[in-house]
Amino acid sequence: MKKLLAFLLMFAFAVVLVGCQSKGPESVEITAAGNKTTLAVGETVQLTATVKPAKVDQSVTWRSAIDSIASVDENGLVTAVSAGTTLIYATSTADEEVEGRISITVQAEAVDYPDLGGLEIVIAQSDTAIYEIDPFHEDYNQTNKEAKQQAWNFVKENFNCEIKVVAYPQEYAWGPPRWDYLIAQAARNVSDYDIIVIPDDRIGMLVEGNVLIDVSNWYAAYGNDYMDPVYLQSGSYKGGLYSMTEGTAGIYNVLYYNIGMVEKLGIKEPAQIFNEGNWTYSEFKKYVLDVQGRLGDSEYALTGNPAYYWIGMLNAGGVAAAEPATLKLNIDHPYAVEAAEILREVFDDGAFDPNFMVEQYMTAWNDQRALFAAGDLWFVNNATRWPEDLWGTPEETKYGYVPWPRPDDISKEQQGVAAGGTATYAMPIGRDYSAYGPECTSENVYLAFVTTFHKTKEFLEQMPSEDEEAQRLAFAQRYTESDESVEALLYMSDRFKVTGFFDPMSLPTNAITNMWSGDFPVAMRQYVQGDIETYQEVVATHRQYLQENLTSAYS
């Protein structure tokens, strides 16, 4: 018995040894001495590679992607050769498939960046969304993660500063409490933050509250036209620019459906109808009424705010409700009238949930009693809006996307799509920089921050190109579980790049009333449910103040 026990112990020990020994390298992390990744010609910097996990062979081989910019020897010593940016790789000798990389920038002449005196640039964001902007957060999942990390490190090194993302205080988590908090700070000429994240539909209100700095002159000096034209418009107010939005504008206000309900009802997916070229106003109305005929009591084809459906349907015709460039108001356009009348008709037939709730408060949507809901693209699989397990398990919760229906007299190839706003960076007044030296000013903090945008783009261009089609597919699959919906979302994303436009009345769903709409959405609801007799009454009542708001903001 003892011999058997000894044998089993030896066998178990051997298995453990084999298991440990079979574990190979998983990743390689590279650091630069002093975090110095920007060099002048002729300078050197020592790189260190750490192979993980720690107990595996630590030996690596070094190589530079472009030796004519920076070379690296067998010990990881980098020598700057000529101006440009290159990647330095460290490859595990135990497994050549495992490697790390770091970006090195060489400047022909040393650039004299402002010295921010050790300032910690503090960016305020909602506590549930910090991961969306901090590239060092473990949940940051954008494709520019590595490039953005390097860009932040570049700015920290060259501007003598730190960058930190913090949450707004919990008591000012969102909505009016946050705006009141920012306005109250501005009234005392103080600020806890260097950069704040706000929805750009609140810019007008915050400018009127003397909260935001006009950065238009700084953008002209340092921006290098980095901002998407749509974001330039949405971030402007009364001739000033208050936004610092990076990236490219895209689809925002969307129409979603419950794939599980589609399957249960045994009907064709709306996205399939769109892909076939038939998703028009009349087909939408027909589809909605057919769905309603299959549903039971307290179940609806549509839920949400009618104003969101109306603006989406109008924009699908290639028409903006308000045109900033021409100061033209189109709320009485034939497409606007037709969209409103269709919504009234389907409500009269019992197909529109009369509760008219929004965001996460649409109980008919949450309880699977409504097929369609209007929302924002980012709502999907977001724990604070439409979580991945809203209708049971993640496997049971399947969101479908379909573009807004278009007028019958235009083709799928003519379909319009608008952006109505986004979350953006802005600079509040009142930040005190007196303790950080003469070069630490609001203007130089702006320069440091937009340099992170420029460098992210620069470093991204230097990195090995990824499969673009695979990236597009991964983007779409984040927002829908349907192949038909993926096809439709990619189609409209491509259309936006070519024909997308800004409509300041394309309402973000977090703003039932804002500086554009006043009580216009309320009047739309009243018309749809029959409390206002004709849509022309809605137009007549609201045209003057909407025109005044449009002219005031964009003249």
Per-residue pLDDT, 110: 66
The alpha carbon of residue 232 and the mean position of all alpha carbons in its chain are separated, in whole angstroms, by 16
Q: Render pLDDT for 114-125 as a digit per residue (tens, 0 to 9).
A: 999 999 999 999
Task: Tally Cβ neighbours within 10 Å of residue 295.
Answer: 17
Q: Render pLDDT for 93-148 as a digit per residue (tens, 0 to 9).
A: 999 989 999 988 888 776 789 999 999 999 999 998 899 899 999 989 888 898 99
Task: Tally Cβ neighbours within 10 Å of residue 473.
Answer: 13
Averaged pLDDT, 264-291: 98
Q: Render pLDDT for 311-346 as a digit per residue (tens, 0 to 9).
A: 999 999 999 999 988 999 999 999 999 999 999 999
Contact criterion met (CB below 8 Å) for 362 and 354: no
Is residue 355 very low, low, confident or very high in pLDDT (cuts 50, 70, 90)? very high
Per-residue pLDDT, 465: 67
Q: Report the distance separating Cα 543 and Cα 555, nearest Å.
A: 17
Given this chain, do its domains 120-248+422-462 and 253-323+335-419+468-500 carry the same CATH topology? yes
What single letter denotes the amino acid at residue 124? A
Per-residue pLDDT, 155: 96
Angle at 145 between CA 142 and CA 146, to 5 degrees: 155
Q: Report the distance separating Cα 381 and Cα 246, nearest Å.
A: 23
Higher pLDDT, 464 or 233: 233
Contact criterion met (CB below 8 Å) for 300 and 292: yes
Is the confidence at residue 17, as pLDDT, over 80? no
What single letter denotes the amino acid at residue 195? I
Is the confidence at residue 7, as pLDDT, over 60? no
Helix (H, G, I), strand (E, B) or coil at 124: strand
Higher pLDDT, 86 or 164: 164
Helix (H, G, I), strand (E, B) or coil at 94: coil
Listed in sequence order, the residues at least 6 apart from 98 whose beta carbon sits closer than 8 Å to its beta carbon are: 24, 25, 26, 27, 28, 51, 91, 92
Per-residue pLDDT, 497: 81
Contact criterion met (CB below 8 Å) for 147 and 460: yes
Is residue 507 very low, low, confident or very high in pLDDT (cuts 50, 70, 90)? low
Structural domain spans, the chain: 27-107, 120-248+422-462, 253-323+335-419+468-500
Lowest mean pLDDT among 35-39, 153-157, 362-366: 35-39
Contact criterion met (CB below 8 Å) for 206 and 427: no
The sign of the CA dihedral 204, 206, 210, 216 is: negative
Contact criterion met (CB below 8 Å) for 157 and 200: no
Q: Report the distance separating Cα 322 and Cα 417, nearest Å.
A: 14
Is the confidence at residue 511, as pLDDT, over 50? no
Q: Report the distance separating Cα 487 and Cα 401, nearest Å.
A: 10
Per-residue pLDDT, 359: 82
Q: Report the distance separating Cα 253 and Cα 356, nearest Å.
A: 17
399-402 and 253-258 strand pairing = antiparallel
Higher pLDDT, 510 or 382: 382
Output the pTM of the full model. Answer: 0.76
Higher pLDDT, 176 or 408: 408
* Spatial CA neighbour of 249 closest among 219, 217, 226, 266: 226
Is residue 504 very low, low, confident or very high in pLDDT (cuts 50, 70, 90)? confident
Angle at 366 between CA 360 and CA 371, to 5 degrees: 110
* Spatial CA neighbour of 427 closest among 232, 222, 210: 210
Helices 306-316, 520-528: inter-axial angle, 10-degree rounding = 100
Alpha helices in 66-108 (DSSP H): none
Residue count of the chain: 555
Contact criterion met (CB below 8 Å) for 70 and 35: no
Identify the CATH number of the domain defined by range 27-107: 2.60.40.1080
Contact criterion met (CB below 8 Å) for 137 and 123: no
Q: Which CATH number fits domain 120-248+422-462: 3.30.1050.10, 3.20.20.70, 3.40.190.10, 3.10.20.30?
A: 3.40.190.10
Is the confidence at residue 288, as pLDDT, over 90? yes
Q: Report the distance separating Cα 176 and Cα 225, nearest Å.
A: 33
Cross-strand bridge partners of residue 303: 373
* Spatial CA neighbour of 25 closest among 101, 102, 98, 100: 98
Is the confidence at residue 542, as pLDDT, over 50? yes
Half-sphere CA count of 452, side-chain side, radius 13 A = 28
What single letter denotes the amino acid at residue 357? M
Q: Report the distance separating Cα 253 and Cα 175, nearest Å.
A: 19
Q: Report the distance separating Cα 367 and Cα 261, nearest Å.
A: 11
Contact criterion met (CB below 8 Å) for 402 and 276: no
Mean predicted lDDT score pLDDT of the chain:
89
Q: Report the distance separating Cα 304 and Cα 6, nearest Å.
A: 70
Identify the CATH number of the domain defined by range 253-323+335-419+468-500: 3.40.190.10
Is the confidence at residue 289, as pLDDT, over 80? yes
DSSP 504-522: TTS--TT-SS-TTTTTHHH
Per-residue pLDDT, 9: 39
Higher pLDDT, 287 or 35: 287
Angle at 516 between CA 453 and CA 182, to 5 degrees: 55
Contact criterion met (CB below 8 Å) for 329 and 550: yes
Helix (H, G, I), strand (E, B) or coil at 486: helix
